[in-house]
Amino acid sequence: MGLSAFQKFAMAGGEAARIVRETESKQMDGIKNALFKSIEDSVAPAAEYRQKHLLVKNKAKEDLQNIINQYIPEDLGLTETERVAAGQALYSKYGYNPDKISEAYQNKVTASQKLGSRGYNTISFLKDEFQDLKGINSNMDIDTISTIIAQNKVGAAPTGFDTAMGLVKTMPQSRGLVTDPINVDDISEKAKATLGLPKVVEGELPSIPMRPKYEHNKTLDEVQKYRLNESTIQKNKAALEKTTTWKPSDWRNSYKQFATDAAKASKLDIKLIPNATTGGFDFTFPGGEKNDAIKREVERNALRNFIMFGAGANKLNDSAFLAVVQGAGANVVGLSKPDSGEQMIPGMTYTKANGQRVVFTGQKDADGKFINIPLLSKQPVYN
């Protein structure tokens, strides 16, 4: 007896369900295998990143706490988070190296002692480093800032896992006739939690205006190296005493002598060549980055010694003297202007925050204010 139509239909339906089940099972197996492979491949990179991130964060946190304890006292009127921001600003300025902060502080103490002061302290240091300490505004705690520092240094977490999950989600996974879809998002989130990747902190480190670095102690040593030549001073004084007024050529010859003395002190084969454009002199000598730096020293200190002689001769207002100052100063690169916590060096050329160069004479006018000579030319730029 043959099968009924119903039996034939039932058998056909069972065979179809078997085929669907096998097809969907293969799809699910493919998705599962892709998921497990992605998770397995992400374990080692995630562990390496987690370890690097933790090491950098913990060191930054420890360094910051030490910096705050040593240089940012509690009686500054700052909140705890503002003290943290101040510590971070110092940390960042000195290349995240606490030893360099300590070195900068000790150099400033030494420079102050060379100038006869014993009162330089951490408050003086803060005034020299920050443009406006009272203007700091931050609500980030030390853990948050340490995390951002770690993120910036180590970089973003490995992205391979997220990329893989995105590819897995493109695989067919809609609800089937006999199987339920795999929740890739749910598995992904659980897997990421298991990988233990650090939580990303949004935002940036507080932006705090800092003063430029100024190696005051090094500048004092430089001045000592190119100190005034006593024989030159006496020769110029004798010549000046013979007449009440010096012509521009007299002042130019005087400057040339101070420049020659400074060139000799540098121990380089420097020659002075008159510059018809600026009215001063150009220094020529063998090249090289180190020699270029010495050339800048020679130019700066030749002018300084000339200024000191003019001040000693009470000629700071002499028009012919000032004309030579402008010509000689055209080639001088100004130093970063020292802050209130440090004394400026008489005769030295400094660059103000607005780019204006001035020569600090160290002399005071009738009102007791220091006399500066503004240099009218732009700050020279050398390669």
Chain segment 169-195, per-residue pLDDT in tens: 554 554 443 344 556 566 656 666 666
DSSP secondary structure string for all residues of 79-112: -HHHHHHHHHHHHHHTTT-HHHHHHHHHHHHHHH
CB 357 within 8 A of CB 329: yes
Looking at the domain assignment, is residue 103 inside a domain?
Answer: yes
Query: What is the pLDDT, as a whole number, of residue 70?
Result: 95
Among 145, 160, 195, the domain-final residue is 195
Same domain for 273 and 319, yes or no, is yes
Same domain for 164 and 236, yes or no, is no
**Rounded-to-integer distance, Cα 371 and Cα 358, Å:** 10
Same domain for 46 and 178, yes or no, is yes
Same domain for 188 and 222, yes or no, is no
Q: What's the start-to-end Cα distance of the chain, in Å? A: 105
Looking at the domain assignment, is residue 201 inside a domain?
Answer: no
Same domain for 169 and 116, yes or no, is yes
Quote the Cα angle for 122-352-368, to 5°.
80
Looking at the domain assignment, is residue 60 inside a domain?
Answer: yes
Looking at the domain assignment, is residue 211 inside a domain?
Answer: no
Query: What is the pLDDT, as a whole number, of residue 167?
Result: 45
Among 163, 195, 227, the domain-final residue is 195
CB 111 within 8 A of CB 104: no
CB 201 within 8 A of CB 147: yes
Looking at the domain assignment, is residue 202 inside a domain?
Answer: no
CB 287 within 8 A of CB 335: no
**Rounded-to-integer distance, Cα 230 and Cα 255, Å:** 14
Assigned token pair, 222 = 């430089």
Among 195, 229, 264, the domain-final residue is 195
Residue type, 70: Q
48-105 pLDDT, tens digit per residue, is 778 888 899 999 999 999 999 999 999 998 999 999 999 999 999 999 999 999 998 9
Q: Which of 334, 235, 239, 330 is nearest to 278 (CA)?
A: 330
Looking at the domain assignment, is residue 96 inside a domain?
Answer: yes
Same domain for 189 and 325, yes or no, is no
- pLDDT tens for the chain, 383 residues: list them: 455 444 444 444 444 445 445 555 555 555 555 555 655 555 566 677 788 888 999 999 999 999 999 999 999 989 999 999 999 999 999 999 999 999 989 888 887 776 666 778 888 889 888 888 888 999 999 999 999 999 898 887 665 555 545 544 554 554 443 344 556 566 656 666 666 667 778 888 998 988 777 666 666 666 666 676 666 667 766 766 666 678 888 888 888 888 888 878 876 665 666 776 666 666 665 555 556 777 888 888 889 889 988 888 888 888 889 999 998 888 888 888 766 445 678 889 988 877 889 999 888 888 888 889 999 888 776 65
The count of domains in the chain is 2
Same domain for 190 and 224, yes or no, is no
pTM of the model: 0.53
Same domain for 140 and 226, yes or no, is no
Query: What is the pLDDT, as a whole number, of residue 42?
Result: 58
Same domain for 148 and 246, yes or no, is no
Same domain for 182 and 221, yes or no, is no
Same domain for 111 and 182, yes or no, is yes
Looking at the domain assignment, is residue 380 inside a domain?
Answer: no
Assigned token pair, 112 = 């102050």
Q: Give the percent of the chain with pLDDT over 70.
A: 60
Query: What is the pLDDT, as a whole number, of residue 8?
Result: 42
Same domain for 266 and 300, yes or no, is yes
Looking at the domain assignment, is residue 379 inside a domain?
Answer: no
Range(s) of the domain holding residue 124: 5-195
